[in-house]
Amino acid sequence: MLISRELSNLKESILDKVALAAGERDLDAVARWSTAAKECEELEKEAENLENRVSIFKESLEGNSGPISGNNLEAASKPKPTSAKLEGQTARSEWTNTLASKGVQLVGHGKRYLTIHGKEVGIAFANELDGIDGKWFLGLKDESTDVVVLICKSKKGDIYDLVIPVQEITKFWSALSRSKGQIKFNVRKKDSDFMLLVPGYPPLVTTRFISNYAPLR
Q: 180-207 pLDDT, tens per residue?
A: 899 999 999 999 999 999 999 999 999 9
Confirm whether pTM is higher than 0.85: no
Same domain, 112 and 202: yes
114 strand-pairing partners: 107, 120
Spell out where the chain has E strands: 106-109, 112-115, 120-127, 135-141, 147-153, 159-165, 178-179, 182-190, 193-197, 204-205
Work out how many domains the chain is built from and give that number. 2
The dihedrals phi and psi of 111, each to the nearest 5 degrees, come to -105, 0
Same domain, 13 and 106: no
Same domain, 94 and 170: yes
Q: 30-46 pLDDT, tens per residue?
A: 878 878 877 877 787 77
Which of 29, 44, 77 terminates a domain? The answer is 77
The dihedrals phi and psi of 191, each to the nearest 5 degrees, come to 60, -120
Q: 139-152 pLDDT, tens per residue?
A: 999 999 999 999 99
Same domain, 207 and 190: yes
How far is 35 from 33, CA to CA, in rounded Å? 5
In this structure, the strands spanning 147-153 and 120-127 are: parallel
Domain assignment of residue 208, given as a range: 84-216
